[in-house]
Structure 1
């Protein structure tokens, strides 16, 4: 496991040589994650992202757990383009945005993937407005909880 706080312009390429990392918490970087896709054992990632950063995550072959924070002005629709076949747990903090059509459609589409446990921050308010079955845990709303 590795936890790093970096600057937004930090080059992550040197991390690609740390091939035994299975869990990474990365703070301060919003995009430029493609070098991390070369980490063959990276199964868990906690990070922030902008729209470009969300697209970068598409190249992570073995990622199983993703904790993602995005700002209110970042569209989460890009999450639908991620073809992370092994991803089975997504925690999303989405900037306390209101429940707009794009957010509702994205969450509904993610929830349709029954193999994925989707955890949404309860404080955002909109998870409870969704017409999806959910389970409450302290501070979160869990969809497809197993």
Structure 2
């Protein structure tokens, strides 16, 4: 049986995780987080497409691609979470489960971060748990996909 494919998409500046002097996003590098996610996805029986782009249009392209190739989407749209109707529209066109993930607790940060366009399309949200939240998002998406009978 083929493993369900999950797209885990990361937006602008996520590639800088671990380099933040303030530690808002933790000390773990993006490459290390990617490795953790790949290992956890494999343990859950998921095929993982873990990607990052600093460009909104690329993220939209990947979300459109996911419509044909993925059983679920996890997205940390980073700063685009609060501004991108285009990402919202692409997510609304996806028919599988969607998990919105954030390294930090967006509700403890600046007020402009308290509204997420992504949340309108998301099945659920994981926030404030750093890299552990990424693993929890994978666990949640695996369960949601299984409940749909795709595993």
TM-score range, shorter chain: 0.3 to 0.5
Alignment TM-score, normalising by the size of structure 1: 0.37
Alignment TM-score, normalising by the size of structure 2: 0.36
Going by fraction, where is strand more abundant, 1 or 2?
A: 1
Task: Answer 1 or 2: higher relative contact order, Cα 8 Å, separation at least 6.
Answer: 2
Going by fraction, where is helix more abundant, 1 or 2?
A: 2
Structure possessing the higher radius of gyration over alpha carbons: 1
